[in-house]
Amino acid sequence: MNEKISAAVYVCPMHSQVHEAGPGRCPNCGMSLVPADSRFKLLRHVLGTPQHLVVMVGVMAVLMAAAMMMMR
């Protein structure tokens, strides 16, 4: 039952204090509101699977090394 309640609540990705009963735009910045339960799904998915976490760390290391090489 909590999922139905949280799915009906929409929040601004930039302003967590903005809560609306339906889709729309944030009154502060004009961004589209998203369902409250969808804000961190990708992060939870990546952190929940060790293989994804290893790949993410590897990609970040390569990107940082490339950026440092470009700064030389």
The per-residue pLDDT for 5 is 47
The per-residue pLDDT for 1 is 44
Distance between CA atoms of 46 and 34, rounded to whole angstroms? 20
User: Does the pLDDT of residue 62 top 90, yes or no?
Assistant: yes
* Digit-coded pLDDT (tens) for 13-24: 888 899 899 889
pLDDT band, residue 50 (cuts 50/70/90)? confident
